[in-house]
Amino acid sequence: MHHRLIILGSGPAGYTAAIYAGRANLAPVLLEGMQPGGQLTITTEIENFPGFAEGIDANELMDQMRQQCERFGTTILSNLCVKADLSQSPYRLWLDDDSELTCDSLIIATGATAKYLGLEDEKKYMGQGVSACATCDGFFYRKKVVAVVGGGDTACEEANYLAGLASKVYLIVRKDHLRASQIMQERVLNNPKIEVLFLTNTLGLYGENGVEGAHLIYNKGGEDERTYDLPIDGFFLAIGHKPNSELFLPWVKINENGYIMTEGDSPRTGIPGVYAAGDVADPHYRQAVIAAASGAKAAMEAEKYLQGL
> Which sequence positions are flagged as catalytic?
133, 136-137
What phi and psi values does residue 7 have, to the nearest 5 degrees?
-115, 125
Amino acid (one-letter) located at 15: Y
Q: Is there a contact between 23 and 1 (Cβ–Cβ < 8 Å)?
A: no
* Spatial CB neighbours of 295, under 8 Å, sequence gap ≥ 6: 12, 13, 14, 15, 16, 17, 18, 20, 107, 109, 277, 278
Which among 117, 88, 94, 87 has a CA at the least distance from the CA of 6? 94
Question: For residues 200 and 219, what is the distance between their CA atoms, to the nearest angstrom?
Answer: 6
**How does DSSP classify residue 208?**
S
How many Cα neighbours within 13 Å face the side chain of 184? 18
Question: For residues 127 and 209, what is the distance between their CA atoms, to the nearest angstrom?
Answer: 11
Which among 279, 300, 260 has a CA at the least distance from the CA of 86? 260
